[in-house]
């Protein structure tokens, strides 16, 4: 699933490890989500959106930001 997690994270100058720690997953999981290899659960999507100060639409909807 394509998403804008990486762009939003970089805009906040946050590393994968920092985001991973905040949402309670491993750095590898964040990397897999950013690459679109792993589709996270809704619970994790919400946690990521909150940490990146974005809505689910902005991060995961298929329209470019």
The residue ranges that bind other proteins (CB under 8 A) are: 16-17, 24-29, 31-32, 34-35, 38, 40-41, 44
Is 34:4 a contact under the CB 8 Å cutoff? no
Of the pair 35, 50, the CB lying nearest other proteins is at: 35
Question: What is the Cα–Cα distance from 61 to 22, expressed in whole angstroms?
Answer: 22
Maximum distance among all Cα pairs of the chain, rounded to whole angstroms = 28
**Residue 27 C-beta: closest distance to other proteins, Å:** 5
- Residue 12 or 17: the one with the smaller Cβ distance to other proteins is 17
């Amino acid at each position: 699933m394509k998403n804008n997690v990486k762009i939003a994270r970089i805009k906040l100058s946050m590393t994968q490890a920092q985001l991973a720690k905040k949402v309670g997953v491993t750095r590898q999981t964040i990397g897999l989500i950013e690459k679109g290899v792993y589709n996270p659960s809704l619970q994790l999507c919400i946690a990521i959106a909150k940490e990146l100060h974005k809505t689910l639409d902005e991060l995961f909807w298929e329209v470019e930001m």
